[in-house]
Amino acid sequence: MSTKTDELRELFLKLSPVTTFTDRQEAGVGDVPTDEEVDDTLRTLVAEMRERFGLGTPLDDDDLVALVRGFYAGESDATLADRFDVAVETLVDARLSLQLFRPDDADAPFDLRDLLRLVEADADDATCAAELGVSEAVIRRYRRVVAARQTAQRESYYYPLEFESLLDADTDDELSAAREADRELFAEIKD
C-alpha cells in the first residue's frame, strides 16, 4: 500500500470504534488484462480486419489470433505453418493480410521502388517480371508484400500498433525502422 493509504488507515483506526475493515479494490486504469481479455480483443481486431480487408485465408479467426501471438513471440513462419498444418506460403499470405511484416519480406532481388512504380502504372505480372528480370512467381510474392505495406501505411499501422500494445511487444526499434523505410519508399514514388 502507498504511504497515503497507510496514513488514512491509521487515521481511520484512531477515529473509529471499529478496529477492522475491508478495503474494496476495483480494477483501475492501467491494470494488466488477462490472457482471455487479450485474446478477445485480438479476436475483435482480426474480425474487424476480415470485414474491412477481406482476409483471404483458410485460417479462422482463432488461428489468426494464435498467428499474431506466435509472430510477436518470435516464432518463424515455418513453425507457425506446421502448427496450423498449412503451407508456408499460405501462412505468409495470412501474416501479410494481418499487416505483420518480417525484415526479410523486403529482401527482393530487385529494388522494391521499381516494382511499386510498375504496380502504380497498372503493369501486369508478366510486364513486371520482364522489366525486373525475375519470374512472375517472384513478382506475385513481392506484389503481395507491397500491397500489404501500402494498406498498413494507409491505416497508419493501426493494427500492428494495436497488436504490439496488447501483447506488450518489444519490437519498437525494428518496426519503427520498417515504418520509416515504408514512408520514404512510398513518398518517393508519389513525388
Instruction: For 43-72, write each residue's pLDDT tens digit.
Output: 999 999 999 998 889 999 999 999 999 999
Cell of 136: 512472375
pLDDT of residue 144: 93
Residue ranges of the alpha helices (H) in the chain? 3-15, 35-53, 61-72, 77-84, 88-97, 112-120, 125-132, 136-154, 158-167, 172-190
Instruction: For 160-171, write each residue's pLDDT tens digit.
Output: 999 998 888 665
Q: Is the pLDDT of residue 141 over 60?
A: yes
Per the prediction, the chain carries an average pLDDT of 83
> What is the distance between the alpha carbons of residues 35 and 51, in angstroms, rounded to a whole number?
24
Could you tell me the pTM of the whole model?
0.73
Q: Is the pLDDT of residue 191 over 50?
A: no
Burial of residue 67 (number of CB atoms within 10 Å: 0-12, 13-18, 19+):
buried
Please, what sign has the CA dihedral across residues 110, 140, 78, 47? positive
Cell of 17: 470504534
Q: Which of 20-24, 74-78, 138-142 has the lowest mean pLDDT?
A: 20-24
CB 96 within 8 A of CB 105: yes
Section 183-191 average pLDDT: 53
Q: How does DSSP assign 103-126, residue by residue? A: GGGG--SS-HHHHHHHHHTT--HH
> What is the distance between the alpha carbons of residues 142 and 113, in angstroms, rounded to a whole number?
11
pLDDT of residue 187: 56
Burial annotation 167-180 (CB, 10 A radius, 16+ → b, else e): bebeeeeebeebbe
Percentage with pLDDT > 70 across the chain: 77
Residue ranges covered by each domain of the chain: 33-98, 100-191
In the three-class reduction of DSSP (H, G, I as helix; E, B as strand; rest coil), residue 138 is classed as helix
Q: Is the pLDDT of residue 95 over 80?
A: yes
Instruction: For 1-51, write each residue's pLDDT tens digit.
Output: 567 777 777 776 777 655 555 555 455 566 677 888 899 999 999 999 999
Cα-trace Rg, the chain: 24
